[in-house]
Chains A and B, each alone.
Chain A
Amino acid sequence: MSTPDHVLSCRDMAKHLSDYLDGDLAASLTALIDAHRGECPPCEAFIRTLRRSVELVRARPREPLSEGVKTRLVEALRQARDRPPRL
C-alpha cells in the first residue's frame, strides 16, 4: 500500500532527518516531519536520540597540549622558518 502524499512513512522520513535537524529542509517537509513525530512515538524517540548524538560530538571536551609538545612544535616552526623543507 502506498503512502499518501500528505503523510510520511517512517522510512521516508528517516532519509531527511539530518537536514531536518540542521534546519535545511523546505518548510513543507519540515511540517510533515513535525506532524509525523507527534503521532509516532518510536520516530519521536529516534529523532531525539539522533539529535543527542550530534550534541555529544559537539560537546566532547578537548584535551590540552602538554608544555613539552607545545615547546617542540614552536621549535619545529622556528626551524622550518629558517630552513624551509621541500614540501
Chain B
Amino acid sequence: MDPVTAVEAEKADDRALAEALIAGRPEAFEPFVERFGPLIRNFGRRMCGHRDDADEVLEETLLTAYLSLKDLHDPSALRAWVFRVAANACLKMRRQDRLGAQREIGLEEILPGPGDGGGPPQIPDWSQTPLDRLLQDELRGKLDESILGLPSDYRIVLLLRDQEGFSTRQTADMLGISETLAKVRLHRARLALRKSLEGYLKGVSA
C-alpha cells in the first residue's frame, strides 16, 4: 500500500472507531486501547522518562480523550485528538516540574565551533551506519537518553513532529504555540539531538 493510501485507510479506520466510541458501543474499547495504547505509552515514556509517569499519561489520555469525544468535530482526526490530550497531560506534568528543568537551547551550544588551529571543524560521519545497528539495545538506550536530555518544550515538539509525524501546524495547534516557534524548537531539538548522538556514535563504523 502506498503511503497516501495508507494514511487514508488509517483515517477511515479512525473515523469508524471514533463513531463507535461516540455511540457508546463497549466493543470499541478494546480496539481503541489496542490502537492508541502503545502509541501513547511510547510517547509518554519518551516524554517523561519514568514508567509510572508514562502509565499515568496513558490512562489519563485515553479516559479524557474518550470522555471528550463529543467535542471532536471530525471523527477521522481521532489520532490528532488523542495526541492533543496526551500533549496536555505532559504539559500538566511540566507545570508540576516533573519533566526536568526548563531552559532554552542556544545555537552556540549545538553548532560546531572551529576546528584545531581555527580551521574547519572535524565532523564524524556516522550516517552510513545501518539503522538496525544504531537501534540495537545499547545504542537505542543512548538515543532515548539523548531525547530525554532535551528540555521538555523542545522534546515534545521533536516527538510530535519526528516520531509521530504530525505537521508543524498540527504540532503548534496541539501545544498552543505559533508555527514559527514550533519550527524553531524543532530545528534546535534536532541539532541538539545530533550533537548528543555524535558523542556516542563517532566511534561507530558502518
Chain A residues proximal to chain B, CB less than 8 Å: 11, 14-15, 17-19, 40-46, 48-65, 69-70, 73-74, 76-78, 80-81, 84-85, 87
Contacts and interface: CB of A to CB of B under 8 A. Distances in A.
Q: For chain B, which range describes its interface: under 10, 10 to 19, 20 to 34, or 35 or more residues? A: 35 or more
Contact of A74 (B29, B58, B121, B193): B29
A73 B67 contact: no
The 3 closest A-B pairs by CB, nearest first: A48-B127, A45-B123, A45-B125
Contact of A42 (B45, B68, B120, B183): B120
Interface stretch (B10-18, B35-43, B72-80): B35-43
A17 B187 contact: yes
25 contacts: A17-B191, A18-B186, A18-B190, A40-B120, A42-B112, A42-B115, A42-B121, A42-B122, A45-B124, A49-B123, A49-B124, A49-B127, A49-B197, A50-B194, A52-B127, A52-B129, A56-B134, A56-B197, A57-B143, A58-B162, A60-B143, A63-B45, A70-B30, A77-B62, A85-B63
Contacts, number: 133
A56 B131 contact: yes
Contact of A77 (B32, B41, B135): B32
